[in-house]
């Protein structure tokens, strides 16, 4: 158990809909990262928050947004969903930034868009 | 469990053999490298890391080798066990991203036969 909790574990929805994925980082970790894993693209970095502030942005679509709350949990919002958004979405956390040590990953939220 | 990739390079070994998984990284400015293991249905798990001021680092049954000249990283697993079966990813980061992001390679699937 990494200590990172993600909900829901599985989500099935339709094109055009909006979903919210939730992540609780390990106790004490200030950074939260979101990654998307698909069969053809591998693990793609989406966005990072550090202590409530956006720290870095990767290949995140404009239809996607995220935030980190004062209690350090984070949410990833995916809107106007398309079939191609079907993927595993991982949240990871670390004490500081990625270069300070390991990232701890949750078990992922599997999104299926029909 | 769920597959994380259907078209990954695959290394098949016998239990007890030594395994070597290779990775070519892309950014010559990267100076921190990590190997992750992802078992079916789970999130990536940290195995070992290495900074660019080193060319070798050893852990328990694992060794990482770094060749900065050709931008190549390898993971050696000694006395491979069936429990080592998983997808292995290398990841890189560096000062240019403020160590904020990890860029993951495509992954290699390791299959260990008893």
Which letter does DSSP use for residue B72 in this model?
Answer: E
pLDDT of res. A42:
83
pLDDT of res. B4:
41
Question: What are the DSSP calls for chain A, one per residue?
Answer: --S-EEE-SEEEE-TT--EEEEEEPPTT--EEEEEEEETTTEEEEEEEEETTEEEEE-S--TTEEEEE-TTS-EEEEE-S--GGG-EEEEEEEESS-GGGS--EE---EEEEE-
Taking an 8 Å cut-off on Cβ atoms, the answer to whether B5 and A42 are in contact is yes
pLDDT of res. A67:
97
Query: Distance between CA B68 and CA B97 in Å, rounded?
Result: 18
Band (B34; pLDDT cuts 50, 70, 90): very high
pLDDT of res. A98:
64
Please report residues of B whose CB lies closer than 8 A to that of A44: 104
Tokens in use for A95? Answer: 């004490």
Percentage of chain A beyond pLDDT 70 is 96
A31/B7: higher pLDDT: A31
Please report residues of A whose CB lies closer than 8 A to that of B53: none
User: Could you read off the pLDDT of B37-85 as tens digits, one per residue?
Assistant: 999 989 999 999 999 999 999 999 999 999 999 999 999 999 999 999 9
User: Could you read off the pLDDT of A74-101 as tens digits, one per residue?
Assistant: 999 999 999 999 999 999 999 887 666 6
pLDDT of res. B3:
38
The two most distant CA atoms of chain B are separated, in Å, by 44
Q: Which residue has the tokens 């290394």?
A: B11
Residue numbers of B between 53 and 82 with CB closer than 8 Å to A: none
3-class secondary-structure state, position B29? coil
Q: Best-predicted range by mean pLDDT among A97-106, B6-15, B73-82, B98-107?
A: B73-82
With a cut of 50, list the residues of chain A below it in pLDDT.
none
pLDDT of res. A41:
74
Tokens in use for A4? Answer: 């990172």
Taking an 8 Å cut-off on Cβ atoms, the answer to whether A42 and B106 are in contact is yes
Residue B86: pLDDT above 90? yes
Query: Distance between CA B55 and CA A107 in Å, rounded?
Result: 32
**B91-95 mean pLDDT:** 89
Q: Across the A/B interface, how many CB contacts are shorter than 8 Å?
A: 77
Give, rounded to a whole angstrom, the gap between the first and last alpha carbons of chain B: 19
pLDDT of res. B5:
45
């Amino acid at each position: 158990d990494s200590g990172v909790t993600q909900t829901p574990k599985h989500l099935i929805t339709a094109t055009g809909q909006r979903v919210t994925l939730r992540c609780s980082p390990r106790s004490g970790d200030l950074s939260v990262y979101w990654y998307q894993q698909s069969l053809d693209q591998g693990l793609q970095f989406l966005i990072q928050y550090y202590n409530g502030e956006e720290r870095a942005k990767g290949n995140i679509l404009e239809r996607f947004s995220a935030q980190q709350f004062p209690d350090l949990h984070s949410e990833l919002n995916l809107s106007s969903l398309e079939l191609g958004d079907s993927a595993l979405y991982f949240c990871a956390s670390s004490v500081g930034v990625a270069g300070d040590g390991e990232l701890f990953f949750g078990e992922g939220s599997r999104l299926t868009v029909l | 469990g769920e597959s994380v990739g259907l078209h990954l390079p695959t290394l098949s070994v016998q239990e007890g053999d030594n395994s070597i998984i290779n990775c070519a990284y892309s950014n010559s400015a990267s100076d921190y490298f990590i190997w992750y293991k992802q078992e079916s249905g789970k999130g990536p798990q940290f195995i070992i890391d290495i900074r660019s001021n080193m060319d070798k680092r050893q852990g328990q049954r694992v060794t990482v080798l770094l060749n900065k000249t050709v931008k190549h990283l390898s993971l050696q697993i000694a006395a491979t066990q069936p429990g080592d079966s998983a997808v292995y990813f290398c990841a890189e980061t560096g000062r240019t991203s403020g160590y904020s992001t990890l860029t993951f390679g495509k992954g290699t699937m390791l299959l260990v036969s008893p």
